[in-house]
C-alpha cells in the first residue's frame, strides 16, 4: 500500500517512457509529443536503460514511469541518483477499457507511455531512507501477525473436525498459557497429536517472531530522533498507541509531503464513495482504498478514543442516532476514525502533541 501523491506536468517533457518491469527484463515504450512510438525489450538493468536514454534521446527532456510492484524501487533510486525524472504509479489507478482482454508486457509499457504523455498518471510517494526501513519492519510484523492468526484458525479447525473442542474449554482472546497447556495435553489419536503439535509450534514461532520485530521497532525508533518525535506526537492523540502510530508512519512516509487531511482519509480508505451529478448527491460506503490493516487499526483506535475523549464520544453518538440501529454504530465509528485523520494530519504537519479543546 502506497500513498497516491499527486501529478506532474506532462508539457515539461519531450519523451515519455513507459516501463513494464519484470524480474529479468524491461519492456520499454518511448513516445514523443507527436505520438510517435518505439518499443524495446532489454535486460532488467537500470544502467542499460539510462545509457539507452542518453544515447538515443540526448538533449531531449525524458520522463520515465513504471508501476509499483514486487521489484521495489531499485530502478527509481538509480534514475533519481542520475537526475533522470522518474515516477512510480499505483496499478489500481491505471485506466482500463471494459473490452480490454489482451495483456502483454509491451502493451502495458505502451499504456504507461500513453498515460504519461496525456498527464493522466497518478504518482505514488516513494518512501525514502528511514521511512522505507520502517515500512519493512512494519511489514514483517504484519506478516507474523497473519501467520499467528492462521495457526490459530488451523488449530480451531482441527479441534472442530475431531470433535475435540469440548476437551480444552473456551480460549481467551490471546490464548493464554493455560489454554496452550490444555492443547498440549489433550487426549487424541497419534496422527491428530502430531498435527496439533506442529500447529502449536507454528503458533509459538509466529509469537516469538512478532515479539522480536516489536523489540526491533522500539530499538529502531530510539536511533531515529525525527521518527521518534513523530511517534510521540501521534501517541498524544487519544486512542492511538504504539502499533497504530508506527503503522501510520510506515504507510504515510514523510509527513512533510502531506498536503491536506482529506488526502490522508482517502489514502486510508475512510472516505465515502460518491456518484453525484448536478444537484443530486449520492454517497455510498467507504472506498476501502489502501491497506485493510491500517484501516482496521484506526477503527480499533476510534473505539478506544470515544472512551477517552468527550468530544469524540459525543460525535459518535450524534452520528449513530442518525442511522438505523443495525448499522448506526458501524457508520459512527468509521466517522470517528475519519475525524481522527484530521488530528493525525495536524500533529504531524505542525510537529506538536495533540491538545484537547
Write out pLDDT tens, residues 199-254.
999 999 999 999 999 999 999 999 999 999 999 999 999 999 999 999 999 988 89
Write out pLDDT tens, residues 290-299.
568 888 999 9
Q: Which of 112-126, 253-267, 299-313 has the highest mean pLDDT?
A: 299-313
Across 8-17, average pLDDT: 91
107 φ, ψ (degrees, to nearest 5): -65, -40
pLDDT at residue 4 is higher than 60: no
Reference 250, options 350, 340, 337, 138; nearest CA is 138
Domain 4-124: top CATH class: alpha beta
pLDDT at residue 284 is higher than 50: no
pLDDT at residue 91 is higher than 60: yes
Reference 291, options 340, 251, 342, 245; nearest CA is 251
Q: Which helix (H) or strand (E) holds 230?
A: helix 225-235
Pick 258 or 66 by higher pLDDT.
Answer: 66
147 φ, ψ (degrees, to nearest 5): -65, -40
Q: Please tell me whether residue 88 adopts helix, strand or coil conformation.
A: strand
pLDDT at site 256: 87
pLDDT at site 163: 87
Helices (H), 16-104: 46-56, 74-81
Reference 22, options 108, 84, 82; nearest CA is 108
Taking the domains of the chain in order of start, what are their residue ranges? 4-124, 129-223, 226-350
**DSSP, residue by residue, 151-193:** HHHHHHHHHHHTT-GGGT-PPPTT--HHHHHHHHT----HHHH
CA dihedral 104, 105, 110, 111 (to 10 degrees): 70
pLDDT at residue 5 is higher than 50: no
Bridge partners (DSSP) listed for residue 31: 16, 37
Pick 158 or 264 by higher pLDDT.
Answer: 158
pLDDT at site 343: 95
If you ran DSSP here, which 8-state letter would residue 64 be given? Answer: E
pLDDT at site 273: 47
pLDDT at site 165: 77
Mean pLDDT score of the chain: 88
With bands split at pLDDT 50, 70 and 90, how would you rate the model's confidence at 2? very low
pLDDT at site 275: 45
120 φ, ψ (degrees, to nearest 5): -100, 0
Give percent of the chain with pLDDT exceeding 70: 89
Write out pLDDT tens, residues 177-204.
889 999 999 999 999 999 999 999 999 9
Amino acid at each position: 500500500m502506497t500513498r497516491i501523491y499527486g501529478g506532474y506536468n506532462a508539457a515539461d517533457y519531450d519523451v515519455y517512457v513507459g516501463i513494464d518491469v519484470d524480474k529479468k527484463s524491461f519492456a520499454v515504450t518511448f513516445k514523443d509529443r507527436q505520438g510517435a512510438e518505439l518499443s524495446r525489450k532489454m535486460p532488467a538493468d537500470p544502467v542499460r536503460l539510462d545509457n539507452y536514454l542518453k544515447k538515443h534521446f540526448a538533449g531531449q527532456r525524458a520522463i520515465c514511469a513504471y508501476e509499483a510492484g514486487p521489484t521495489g524501487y531499485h530502478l527509481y533510486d538509480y534514475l533519481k541518483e542520475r537526475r533522470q525524472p522518474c515516477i512510480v504509479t499505483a496499478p489500481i489507478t491505471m485506466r482500463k477499457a471494459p473490452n480490454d482482454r489482451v495483456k502483454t508486457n509491451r502493451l502495458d509499457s505502451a499504456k504507461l507511455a500513453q498515460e504519461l504523455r496525456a498527464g493522466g498518471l497518478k504518482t505514488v510517494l516513494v518512501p525514502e531512507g528511514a521511512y522505507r526501513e520502517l515500512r519493512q519492519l512494519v511489514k514483517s510484523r504484519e506478516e507474523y501477525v497473519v501467520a499467528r492468526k492462521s495457526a490459530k484458525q488451523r488449530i480451531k479447525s482441527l479441534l472442530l473436525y475431531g470433535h475435540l473442542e469440548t476437551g480444552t474449554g473456551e480460549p481467551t482472546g490471546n490464548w493464554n498459557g493455560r489454554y496452550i497447556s490444555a492443547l498440549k495435553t489433550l487426549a487424541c489419536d497419534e496422527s491428530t497429536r502430531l498435527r496439533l503439535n506442529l500447529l502449536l509450534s507454528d503458533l509459538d514461532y509466529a509469537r516469538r517472531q512478532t515479539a522480536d520485530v516489536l523489540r526491533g521497532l522500539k530499538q529502531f525508533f530510539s536511533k531515529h530522533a525525527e521518527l521518534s518525535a513523530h511517534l510521540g506526537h501521534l501517541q498524544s492523540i487519544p486512542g492511538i498507541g504504539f502499533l497504530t502510530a508506527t503503522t501510520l508512519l510506515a504507510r504515510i512516509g514523510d509527513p512533510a509531503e502531506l498536503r491536506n487531511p482529506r488526502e490522508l482519509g482517502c489514502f486510508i480508505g475512510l472516505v465515502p464513495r460518491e456518484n453525484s451529478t448536478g444537484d443530486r448527491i449520492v454517497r455510498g460506503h467507504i472506498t476501502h482504498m489502501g491497506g485493510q490493516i491500517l484501516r482496521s487499526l484506526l477503527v480499533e483506535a476510534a473505539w478506544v478514543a470515544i472512551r477517552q475523549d468527550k468530544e469524540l464520544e459525543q460525535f459518535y453518538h450524534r452520528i449513530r442516532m442518525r442511522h438505523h440501529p443495525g448499522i448506526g454504530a458501524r457508520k459512527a465509528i468509521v466517522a470517528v476514525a475519519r475525524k481522527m485523520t484530521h488530528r493525525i494530519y495536524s500533529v504531524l504537519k505542525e510537529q506538536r502533541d495533540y491538545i484537547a479543546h
